[in-house]
Amino acid sequence: MEALELARLQFAVTGGLHFLFVVLTLGLAPLVAIMHTRQALAGGPLRERMTRFWGQIYVVNYALGIVTGLVMEFQFGLSWSGLSHYAGDVFGAPLAMETLVAFFLESTFLGLWIFGWGRLPKWAHVACIWLVTLTAYASAFFIMAANSFLQNPAGAVESGGRLRLVDFGALLTNKALVFSFPHVIGAGLFTGAMVLAGASAYQLRRRTSEVEFFSRSLRTGVVVAAIGIFLTVGFGYAQFSGVQEGKLSQAGLPFAVMVESGNLLMLLVLFVMLPMIRVLPRWRWTHPVLMVLTPVPFVLAIMGWLVREMGRQPWMIWGKLTVADAMTPGLTTSMITGSLVGFAAVLGLLAVVDYVLIARVVRRGPRDLDLGSVREPALTY
Amino acid sequence: MELIWFAVFSLLLAGYFALEGFDLGVGLLLPVLGRSAATRDRMVAAMAPYVLANEVWLVAVAGTLFGVYPALEHEVLFGLYPVVVAMLLSWVVRDAGLWFRRRAGGARWRGFWDLMIALGSLGLSFGWGTALYGVVTGSWLSPPGLMLGVLVTLLFAFHGWTFLAWRSPGLAGVTRSGRALAISGGAAALPAAGVLLGSMPYLLDHSAPAATLGVLSVIALPFAPVVVAAQVWVWRTFRPGKDAVRIPSFF
């Protein structure tokens, strides 16, 4: 393969891996924040264990979101410096906002939340997880704003062979952004909710002793899944009017998979799962179905990105800069092969390990949780 | 305007060295001071609450590089391609070690990830020395570049040791004051500060145009007090004391 194809593959692999973890982060963050708030309001051991159990899944998942995100960020400079050279004055602004403000605060508050258990006053601790949620959504907004600029370069004009920012407001009200951002947020909520439902179904199927814990979690999952899929599909269709001619047909297969499955899932969630919400925890035959559905939102989220990024080809910035021109001049096949193998192998392995660890948390259920623990569990030597 | 953003960029990079420097230093010292698994647990627990708030300074450096010095991003990152890739992989492995080491039982599991923390910290510390030399001279693979790598590694190890002596005196065998920690942080930041000062005219000359800097200033600078307050909150919450290092810690 040519250096260009390899560089695209590298970005697709790291970007795809990154989003698999980010989409769950976006869904679980508000759910954990709500659980923590209810714990603070009403108290009780059940609510505390719900916060810690789903919180632990949230933070174990978060680990891979961070490390894949680091590689993503630096790839712009390594492989795509033509982009910063031509449009850095515009594209760099939302990226700088994301890293300098949104993610900076998110990481700081997450550290306070994870390690603040038993140290921070109750409401200050609750405030931390809400601030993590808020800044995570702000991060998603700025990243989507940057991506939307590539899809539809609003707010900039070309002068002297480079793009110049003339209207920052136009960057944030881009027609490629206003519906795609809530679409992504909906997909995140749907993914997080389906993980709640699937993991709870697994425990109930295994005749867990934690019946109330997982029945409640399952019902929460179904309600939020209904909200999430409604937002995702609704804002998905709303994007059609603003998409440039030819983009959707260019991403035929992933587009068909996403739309058809999305429609089916919406029917299933709104007209089957939601009406059955009372009986779902008891009807054990439904549990394998819910378990099988858990990975589906992740697959569809990747399809969504394929549609968006394949549709843009061959442009890096629609109508302005091609992907080939955006590649770093001088990037050789051997350089990109070396880094591709390194990143794909290390991040791929870590992703597998992370999913095994999440599955382990789900299997063990809400006992001996690390998050918020004050007592050392027995080490098995 | 260029001057303000040069100051922000410099503060972020030097701050990264002064803060993340001690996390990397503790990682470097894991195999040296942490002969037993229990000691390593305590060493990691001592730095754990700071790591997320410290490493993010470099994420902000990279974002600022893109936003404020888009013309230089290519020179800096691409010019040092193998070093940057190796440093990224080291960073990833170090972070994975921290997040994973306590996520499963078994001494071998934890021992393996502790080794990854140490190796990742080593790769990143040494990489910083060679990268700084490479940025200035254009060639990193040279005896002075490698020497600077060793120097930065030693500075970070000393800073990590001072941090342990400040937060959990039992681990380092001595006690150090917050002032000593600030001084070792300053020492750890010296290589970065030197490079920044030396390249100041060049950086000022290659800043993004006024329109971009204006937008960045209007939307980013108002949040500066919030960002500073959040960092201060971390340092206040996890300050040393009778119960500073708690086991079990999440990392």
Instruction: Please name the residues between 219 and 258 in chain A that touch chain B, using a CB distance below 8 Å.
Output: none
Which tens digits make up the pLDDT trace of A236-250? 988 888 788 778 878
Q: Greater confidence, A166 or B51? A: B51
Residue A371 is predicted with a pLDDT of 93
Position A375 confidence tier, pLDDT thresholds 50, 70, 90? low
Give the distance from residue A54's alpha carbon to the nearest chain B alpha carbon, in angstroms.
Answer: 15
Q: Greater confidence, B78 or A374? A: B78
Is there a contact between A88 and B59 if contact means CB atoms under 8 Å apart?
no
- Radius of gyration of chain A from its Cα atoms, rounded to whole angstroms: 22
Contact of A226 with A271, CB cutoff 8 Å: no
Q: Is the pLDDT of residue B242 over 90?
A: no
Instruction: Give domain status of residue B26, yes or no.
Output: yes
Instruction: Give domain status of residue B15, yes or no.
Output: yes
> Which residues touch A172 (CB under 8 Å, ≥6 apart)?
A145
Which tens digits make up the pLDDT trace of B155-196? 999 999 999 999 998 888 899 999 999 999 999 999 999 999
Is there a contact between A84 and B74 if contact means CB atoms under 8 Å apart?
yes
Which tens digits make up the pLDDT trace of A80-102? 999 988 988 888 889 888 999 99
Q: Return the ∠ at Cα A72 (arms to B133 and A5), rounded to 5°.
A: 100
Give the distance from residue A26's alpha carbon to the nearest chain B alpha carbon, in angstroms.
Answer: 18
Position B91 confidence tier, pLDDT thresholds 50, 70, 90? very high
- What's the whole-number mean pLDDT along residues A305-329? 93
Segment (H or E) for A315:
strand A315-317
Could you give the C-alpha distances from B7 to A95, B12, B15, B130, in angstroms and in order?
19, 8, 11, 24
> Which residues touch B136 (CB under 8 Å, ≥6 apart)?
B195, B198, B199
Of A81, A91, A376, the CB nearest to B78: A81
Instruction: Give domain status of residue B246, yes or no.
Output: no
DSSP assignment, residue B199? T
Q: How many CA atoms lie within 13 A of A374 on its CB side?
A: 5
Number of A/B CB contacts below 8 angstroms equals: 220
Instruction: Give domain status of residue B245, yes or no.
Output: no
Contact of B58 with B16, CB cutoff 8 Å: yes
Instruction: Give domain status of residue B112, yes or no.
Output: yes
* Domain of residue B156, residue span: 2-237
| Weakest-pLDDT range from A199-213, A246-260, A322-336 | A246-260
Is there a contact between B78 and A104 if contact means CB atoms under 8 Å apart?
no
Q: Is the pLDDT of residue A377 over 60?
A: no
Residue A373 is predicted with a pLDDT of 87
Instruction: Give domain status of residue B244, yes or no.
Output: no
Please report, for chain A, the start and end positions of each structural domain, with discontinuous segments joined by +.
Answer: 1-79+332-373, 84-176, 179-305
Segment (H or E) for B232:
helix B224-237
DSSP assignment, residue A164? E
- Is A317 near chain B, with CB under 8 Å? no
- What's the whole-number mean pLDDT along residues A129-136? 98
- What distance in Å separates the CA atoms of residue A340 and residue B94, rounded to the nearest whole number? 19
| Weakest-pLDDT range from A198-202, A241-245, A335-339, B97-101 | A241-245
Residue B23 is predicted with a pLDDT of 98
Q: Is the pLDDT of residue A380 over 50?
A: no
List the single residue in B with minimal CA-CA distance to A100. B60
How many residues appear in chain B?
Answer: 251
Residue B169 is predicted with a pLDDT of 87
- What distance in Å separates the CA atoms of residue B6 and residue B233, rounded to the nearest whole number? 26
- What distance in Å separates the CA atoms of residue B152 and residue B212, rounded to the nearest whole number? 34
List the single residue in A with minimal CA-CA distance to B41. A376
Cβ-Cβ contacts under 8 Å, B95 against chain A:
63, 66-67, 70
- Is A207 near chain B, with CB under 8 Å? no
| Proportion of chain A above pLDDT 90, given as a percent | 82
Contact of A115 with A166, CB cutoff 8 Å: no
Which tens digits make up the pLDDT trace of A42-64? 988 999 999 999 999 999 999 99
| Proportion of chain B above pLDDT 90, given as a percent | 77
| Proportion of chain B above pLDDT 70, given as a percent | 100
For residue A315, the one-letter residue type is W
Tokens describing residue B94? 């170090």
Q: Greater confidence, B76 or A327? A: A327
**DSSP conformation letters of B23-65:** HHHHHHHHHHH--SHHHHHHHHHHHHHHHHHHHHHHHHHHHHH
Unique residue bearing structure tokens 């993610």: A103
- Is A343 near chain B, with CB under 8 Å? yes
- Round the average pLDDT of chain A to a whole number and report it: 93
Residue A132 is predicted with a pLDDT of 98
Instruction: Give domain status of residue B243, yes or no.
Output: no
Residue A376 is predicted with a pLDDT of 58
Tokens describing residue B235? 């340092």
Cβ-Cβ contacts under 8 Å, A93 against chain B:
67, 212, 215-216, 219
User: Which residues are B190's β-sheet partners?
Assistant: none
- Is A122 near chain B, with CB under 8 Å? no
- What distance in Å separates the CA atoms of residue A301 and residue A16, rounded to the nearest whole number? 9
Is there a contact between B215 and A165 if contact means CB atoms under 8 Å apart?
yes
- What's the whole-number mean pLDDT along residues B229-238? 96
Angle in degrees, 0-180, between the axes of helices A45-79 and A81-97, rounded to the nearest 10: 150
- What's the whole-number mean pLDDT along residues A303-320? 93
For residue A301, the one-letter residue type is A
- What's the whole-number mean pLDDT along residues A227-231? 97
Unique residue bearing structure tokens 């027995």: A378
- What's the whole-number mean pLDDT along residues B209-222? 87
Nearest partner of B12 among A317, A90, A101, judged by Cα: A101
Contact of A166 with A155, CB cutoff 8 Å: yes
- What distance in Å separates the CA atoms of residue A272 and residue A256, rounded to the nearest whole number? 23
CB count within 10 Å of CB A234 equals 14
- Is A109 near chain B, with CB under 8 Å? yes
Is there a contact between B78 and A338 if contact means CB atoms under 8 Å apart?
no
Give the distance from residue B3's alpha carbon to the nearest chain A alpha carbon, in angstroms.
Answer: 17
Which tens digits make up the pLDDT trace of A282-297? 999 999 999 999 999 9
Which tens digits make up the pLDDT trace of A163-182? 988 888 999 999 999 999 99
Is there a contact between A96 and B223 if contact means CB atoms under 8 Å apart?
no
Instruction: Give domain status of residue B251, yes or no.
Output: no
Give the distance from residue A129's alpha carbon to the nearest chain B alpha carbon, in angstroms.
Answer: 13
Of A104, A335, A379, the CB nearest to B56: A104
- Is A63 near chain B, with CB under 8 Å? yes
